[in-house]
Amino acid sequence: MNKVLNVFFVITIAIGLASCSSGDSSDNSLINGFNVSIDGQAYKADNITATQQFGKIIIETTNADERGITLFMPNYTIGTYTDAIIVYSVGQMSFDYINRDSSGELNGSVTIASLNNNIISGYFQCKAYRNAEAEPVILSNGTFQNIPVTLGIDPLGEGYYFALVNGVSNTFINAVADKINNRIHVAGVGHEHSIEIDLPENIGTGTYTIDNSDEGLKASLRNNIANSNWYSVSGTLTITQLENEWIDGTFTLSGIDDQGNEKAITGGQFHAPLVERN
């Protein structure tokens, strides 16, 4: 489901709240593919992609009526993850439901039951919320069986955006570099965080100081869950490649959040397509 992943990923991630009913679906009787009950109605994926990157794994699916489910697991090893992110999308509306309640707590789990020769199987369950007011949907008895995993930093060739936010690794879901009004906005958009670095369009390869001046380089980070902004007060950006409508680079940032708490963004790296915007 390229609209949820549009790469790869998401990018920031918290801990569990409550669980839905689950069935131990790790035996050999599982049907190959990806299946789950959503509020008692069967969902079977028609398209399935599993990708490993930065030690994490994402399984994304869609079906014929344009619904989709994506699983984000923090490790590429056998185990049960209560800090996994589960997204249920409806039609053209990405990120419609997520296993995070209004307090920001995750619930449910994803279990990797077997992993042999990059073939993955397991099961999952959760409550997924659209907003604080709406009733959650129940994802139960979810299974994924014999799914081949693609390895690589950018297996879909669509770009990537990665950083450690206060020591927590974040693979952002969307990576793009928009060219607007003689500026380039290099952005990584994830479920929990979004990072944007704003630089002059005439920049070349090299290392630069992020000083947040009007004419220089600026950077900001948004916590999408808390609906708050962090602002960079210092940092560095290294552009390693800028050609063929792509921009590559690495970065570190030191910033503050809305409450004045210090934040550190380290190990940042991106490979993003340059897109002209009117």
What's the pLDDT tens digit per position in 181-235? 889 999 887 767 888 999 998 899 999 998 887 778 888 888 777 777 887 678 9
Residues 171, 145, single domain; the answer is: no
Give the domain range for residue 231.
160-276
Last residue of a domain, one of 123, 151, 179: 151
Q: Which of 220, 166, 153, 231 is nearest to 189 (CA)?
A: 220
Below-50 pLDDT ranges, the chain: 1-30, 93-94, 155-156
Q: How many CB atoms lie within 10 A of CB 177?
A: 24
Instruction: In whole angstroms, give the CA distance from residue 43 to residue 114.
Output: 22
The total number of structural domains that make up the chain: 2
Q: Which long-range contacts (CB under 8 A, 24 or more apart) does 209-212 make?
A: 209/234, 209/235, 209/236, 210/234, 210/235, 210/236, 210/237, 210/251, 210/253
Residues 134, 177, single domain; the answer is: no
Q: Under 8 Å CB-to-CB from 112, ≥6 apart: which residues?
A: 57, 73, 77, 78, 79, 80, 81, 120, 121, 122
How high is the pLDDT of residue 125?
97
Residues 147, 196, single domain; the answer is: no
Last residue of a domain, one of 125, 151, 177: 151
Residues 237, 140, single domain; the answer is: no
Instruction: Read off the tokens for 6.
Output: 């549009």
Residues 180, 143, single domain; the answer is: no
Element (H, E) at 5: helix 2-5
How high is the pLDDT of residue 36?
96
Residues 189, 169, single domain; the answer is: yes
Residue with tokens 């790469």: 7
Residues 220, 252, single domain; the answer is: yes
Instruction: In whole angstroms, give the CA distance from residue 33 to residue 69.
Output: 13
Last residue of a domain, one of 151, 177, 212: 151
205 phi and psi angles, rounded to 5 deg: -70, 150
Q: What is the CA radius of gyration of the chain?
A: 19
Q: Are 109 and 80 in contact (CB under 8 A)?
A: yes
Residues 139, 253, single domain; the answer is: no
Residues 107, 198, single domain; the answer is: no
For 3, the 3-state DSSP assignment is helix
Residues 116, 196, single domain; the answer is: no
Residues 132, 257, single domain; the answer is: no
Residues 79, 176, single domain; the answer is: no
The pLDDT tens digits for 113-137 are 999 888 999 999 999 988 767 789 9
Distance of CA 33 to the CA centre of its chain: 22
